[in-house]
Structure 1
Amino acid sequence: MPFTLDTLTTIAPYAFAMALVGLMESLMTAKLVDEITDTRSSKTRESIGQGIANIVTGFFGGVGGCAMIGQTMINVRVSGARTRFSTFLAGSFLMVLCIVFGPVVSDIPIGALVAIMVMVSFATFDWHSIAPKTLKRMPAWELTVMAITVAVVVATHNLAIGVVVGSITAMVVFANRVAHLAQVTAVTDPAHATVVHRVTGELFFASSNDLVGQFDCTTDPDKVVIDLSAAHIWDASSVAALDAIETKYTQRGKTVQITGLNGPSAYFHGKLSGELTPSR
């Protein structure tokens, strides 16, 4: 096949899907192994190593690969393996089977291999995760994400699409839940005609609207302090929301002071404040 733009256009969707599925499976496998063996692996190193290995393999006409949950669980949980030497031996035995006993292996019926894979799946599946007692205790939004992911995989017969749709759904649901966690508590000091608004929570695009709505610029005294010591600014939308709040107060002749910014938030606010809304 010639190395042209048309070839890359044809290959790219399949390559991306395989890379995504392989990376997800490798990360999940590493996480499970860490939990079982009570160790901590470098997910970044594993991912980089897998990517380099697959690139080099392609130049020699080989087939890309990734960590396998089923085989790993059998290796770690059933056989009791704890070091990388076990995977080296597994690869060595597989090479011997292919090179030396290739004709014998090719005579094994596909049905027998399917039965083996079914038993491996049965033995490695975490049945407790779908037990009725477990499902009843899980949040409804997590069950929804799981159901959508499974439904998309079954409907499209494409694990990559299911993973992408499930991840996007989880991010949207998470953003919606976190958006309502930003709270503003007001403490008024009548003697000094000052009110301190203490903001608690994560400030980002989804929580910006709620943040603006929690300030009442008509009834607050002339001096307003916005304490962000218990909050963190994550994006430009939050800075724009703070600018909008400050603008509403200044239009009514009131002064606003923003305090308590941590290092990253102060840098972000100082860099963008006044640049995202019309000049006052």
Structure 2
Amino acid sequence: MKLDLSNLRGDLTGGITAGIVALPLALALGVASGLGPMAGLYGAIAVGFFAALFGGTPSQISGPTGPMVVVLAGLFASLSGNAELIFTAVVLAGLLQVAFGFLGVGQYIRLVPYPVISGFMSGIGAIIIILQIGRLLGHEPPGGTIGALSYLPTALADINFATLILGVGTLVIAYKWPPALGKFVPGALAALIIGTLVSFAFTNIPVLGNIPTGLPSLHLPVYEQSQFFIVIEAAFILAVLGAIDSLLTSLVADNMTRTRHDSNKELIGQGIGNTVAGLIGGIAGAGATMRTVVNIRSGGKQRLSGMVHALVLLAVVLGLSPLAANIPHAVLAGILVKVGLDIIDWSYLKRAHNGPRWDFALMLLVLGLTVFVDLITAVGVGVVLAALAYVRQIAQIQIEDLKKIPEILNDPEENALLKQTKGKVSIFSFGGPLSFGAAADVGHHVREKVKPGSQVLIMDFTRVPSVDVSAAMAVETVATDAKSSGRKLLICGANDEIKAVLTGINAAQADVESFDNLLSALEHAVVIIGEQEKASSKKLASKAVSNNPPAK
């Protein structure tokens, strides 16, 4: 693959800066996953390099992210720390993402509603913070959100104030690091260095300890029948979550660079990166928003920047690992708390009270499910509820449109014909695709709104591009009701697709006539009413004769 070197200086600067920013985050997220700091670095190197090389967002920086680590930490607890099975799940997640890319799934992932995305991202941020509170207090809480919350009273009863000071101090430095100095040393890296140096003044501070140096070893996928479904489920969650996380970051990159990413190519790149990460003992990753923003602001625009970022981390692995052994857990916890706080969607939370209450309620529901149940349930429930709410909203619009029986039509010819019917025609017009959401109420509202004395009902499908089976069955119900009440049902404006659906399930019954447009339907309605009036006149005349027989 040919690299674009037109922005060589900017890509080198952006890649080096992003690599320095990624270092403390990779270490911290590796520890948070349960697999150790080197797993975080290996994951950052593999995903960062190959996602940049093969992905569809040139300026994006990929690596371990909070959402992915939350899943990995849960898997670590479920598998009792079996690293080989966890790396197998990472490999499978990568292969699934490659499959997603080839199947064109990227365009559908972007359809997840914003309140759902906001809810689970904020939930992930909350989980990261909850899992770090115990470490800030000098303890190693049990795995899982519930376990960490349950352990909190124990930790509060025995606080290690040295670790608390270190962790909070690290958090403050990361937030308050002067922007002027940030151009040379990023805030997260400054917090890591200062926090580690200050820790030498304390005793009994838990640190990372010995970290292996050199190139990683190969971890081939393993199979264990008793844990098979746990691994498969985790792989699917990692694949979907990583895809969503990456494509959201791609949208951010698009906005900053005024470009357009290739969703499916990006998924293929992320999948290759995660597959390699699992094979070399690294944790899963995705597009990282903060690192991508740093890269772009530092001049990075092309895929070379992401590859340089990974090579910077590789240099650290090969030569500086012994220095990382002295990094305290509390310092990494402080950095991770900042990561969690940054993930929470504060901008939406501040404005949510001004928007639709249902969307805010959905966001809170997804947030709660994310924290206390699991991510896939949260997203699944959120998407289903959002879809049902949307269907209900559209159905209400369609039904309201249906209730409006016109007294005057826009077309002069149609309007003249409508006047000739003398109020004996009821026209029901539909707007937009007629789906199952509105179908349940169509028959009821037609019965309710039909004009007294109407002899002909006209259902106008001119503005309807498609119908589903539920809507077709509703038409059949209207036809049956019209027949039983002695009225004639006419359908007009239906395209070939709608006619095929109506005919396919026998909704277009023999006594329902179809016309190409409303004008033709009204012309036929005038004829029907005229025939009925003639028949009625003859009947009345015949009745009069029978009541008054001629004198003999």
CA distance in structure 1 between the aligned counterparts of 2:349 and 2:230, rounded to whole angstroms:
39
Structure 1 counterpart SS, 2:454: coil
Partner of 1:159: 375
The alpha-carbon distance between structure 1 residues 51 and 123, as it changes in their structure 2 partners (threshold 3 A), is closer
Partner of 1:137: 354
Partner of 2:306: 87
Partner of 1:170: 386
Aligned partner (choices 59, 65, 74) of residue 294 of structure 2: 74
CA distance in structure 2 between the aligned counterparts of 1:74 and 1:120, rounded to whole angstroms:
15
CA distance in structure 2 between the aligned counterparts of 1:38 and 1:258, rounded to whole angstroms:
49
The alpha-carbon distance between structure 1 residues 124 and 9, as it changes in their structure 2 partners (threshold 3 A), is closer
Superposed displacement of residue 197, structure 1: 1.5
CA distance in structure 2 between the aligned counterparts of 1:58 and 1:220, rounded to whole angstroms:
74
**Quick check: 2:353–2:360 contact (8 Å CA) kept in 1?**
no
Partner of 1:150: 367
Partner of 2:455: 222
**Quick check: 1:208–1:241 contact (8 Å CA) kept in 2?**
yes
Partner of 1:204: 435
Question: Structure 2 counterpart of 1:227, which letter?
Answer: D
Offset from partner CA, 1:17-39 (integer Å, 9 cap, x none)? 22222122122212222223332
CA distance in structure 1 between the aligned counterparts of 2:344 and 2:294, rounded to whole angstroms:
11
Question: Structure 1 counterpart of 2:298, which letter?
Answer: S
Is 1:128 aligned with 2:364? Answer: no
**Quick check: 1:233–1:239 contact (8 Å CA) kept in 2?**
no
Aligned partner (choices 98, 102, 111) of residue 330 of structure 2: 111
Superposed displacement of residue 143, structure 1: 0.6
Superposed displacement of residue 127, structure 1: 3.8
CA distance in structure 1 between the aligned counterparts of 2:467 and 2:329, rounded to whole angstroms:
53
Per the normalisation by structure 2, the TM-score is: 0.44
Aligned partner (choices 254, 260, 276) of residue 40 of structure 1: 260
Is 1:213 aligned with 2:449? Answer: no
Partner of 1:236: 469
The alpha-carbon distance between structure 1 residues 92 and 229, as it changes in their structure 2 partners (threshold 3 A), is farther
Superposed displacement of residue 243, structure 1: 1.7
CA distance in structure 1 between the aligned counterparts of 2:342 and 2:233, rounded to whole angstroms:
33
Offset from partner CA, 1:56-108 (integer Å, 9 cap, x none)? 655666543322233223333x4353332222221221222223323333433
Partner of 2:316: 97
Rg larger in structure: 2
Per the normalisation by structure 1, the TM-score is: 0.80
CA distance in structure 2 between the aligned counterparts of 1:265 and 1:98, rounded to whole angstroms:
63
Q: Please say which of residues 167-176 and 52-61 is displaced more in the overlay.
A: 52-61
Q: For the aligned residues, what is the CA RMSD?
A: 3.3
Q: Please say which of residues 259-268 and 163-172 is displaced more in the overlay.
A: 259-268
Structure 1 counterpart SS, 2:365: helix
Q: Please say which of residues 226-235 and 176-185 is displaced more in the overlay.
A: 226-235
Superposed displacement of residue 230, structure 1: 2.2
The alpha-carbon distance between structure 1 residues 147 and 220, as it changes in their structure 2 partners (threshold 3 A), is farther
**Quick check: 2:243–2:286 contact (8 Å CA) kept in 1?**
yes
Question: Structure 1 counterpart of 2:473, which letter?
Answer: A
Offset from partner CA, 1:210-258 (integer Å, 9 cap, x none)? 2222213683633322112223435321111122112221333433232
**Quick check: 1:70–1:121 contact (8 Å CA) kept in 2?**
no
CA distance in structure 2 between the aligned counterparts of 1:75 and 1:268, rounded to whole angstroms:
53
CA distance in structure 2 between the aligned counterparts of 1:149 and 1:232, rounded to whole angstroms:
34
Report 1 or 2 for greater relative contact order, CA contacts < 8 Å, sequence distance ≥ 6. 2
CA distance in structure 2 between the aligned counterparts of 1:56 and 1:264, rounded to whole angstroms:
48
Q: Number of residue pairs matched?
A: 274
The alpha-carbon distance between structure 1 residues 94 and 257, as it changes in their structure 2 partners (threshold 3 A), is farther
CA distance in structure 2 between the aligned counterparts of 1:31 and 1:165, rounded to whole angstroms:
24
Superposed displacement of residue 12, structure 1: 1.9
The alpha-carbon distance between structure 1 residues 246 and 52, as it changes in their structure 2 partners (threshold 3 A), is farther
**Quick check: 1:180–1:210 contact (8 Å CA) kept in 2?**
no
Superposed displacement of residue 144, structure 1: 0.5
Partner of 1:249: 482
Percentage of matched positions with identical amino acids: 23
Q: Please say which of residues 163-172 and 119-128 is displaced more in the overlay.
A: 119-128
Superposed displacement of residue 264, structure 1: 4.8
The alpha-carbon distance between structure 1 residues 80 and 204, as it changes in their structure 2 partners (threshold 3 A), is farther
**Quick check: 2:430–2:460 contact (8 Å CA) kept in 1?**
yes
Superposed displacement of residue 124, structure 1: 7.0
Quick check: which one's strand share is greater?
Answer: 1
**Quick check: 1:29–1:67 contact (8 Å CA) kept in 2?**
yes
**Quick check: 2:475–2:507 contact (8 Å CA) kept in 1?**
no
Q: Which runs of 5+ in 1 are unaligned?
A: none
Q: Which runs of 5+ in 2 are unaligned?
A: 1-84, 86-221, 408-417, 513-552
**Quick check: 1:246–1:256 contact (8 Å CA) kept in 2?**
yes
Aligned partner (choices 224, 238, 246) of residue 18 of structure 1: 238
Aligned partner (choices 182, 191, 208) of residue 420 of structure 2: 191
